Amino acid sequence: MNNITDKWYEIKVLVESLELDIHKNANGNASAGVRARRGLRLLKKEVGDLVKMTIDGEKQRKAQ
């Protein structure tokens, strides 16, 4: 369970770090858009990893 909460906090930090670049891109900063898209792709990967971790955790609990 600890790994799941650690991953969740990691995702929250990533989202917070993306916020500034998203706002800059909305105001027309193209470089911020590149950084935001890169961060969003990373966010997608990390969220997928969290989903897999939660599924694996549920399977292990059911097996016990």
* CA–CA separation, 15 and 35 (whole Å): 12
* CA–CA separation, 41 and 21 (whole Å): 14
* CA–CA separation, 17 and 32 (whole Å): 12
Amino acid at 40: L
Q: Can you give the pTM of this predicted structure?
A: 0.85
Q: How many domains does the chain have?
A: 1
* CA–CA separation, 12 and 4 (whole Å): 12
Per-residue pLDDT tens for 22-64?
999 999 999 999 999 999 999 999 999 999 999 999 999 999 8
Per-residue pLDDT tens for 27-38?
999 999 999 999
Give residue 1's pLDDT band: very low, low, confident or very high (50, 70, 90).
low
Domain hosting 27: range is: 2-63
The three-class DSSP label of residue 38 is: helix
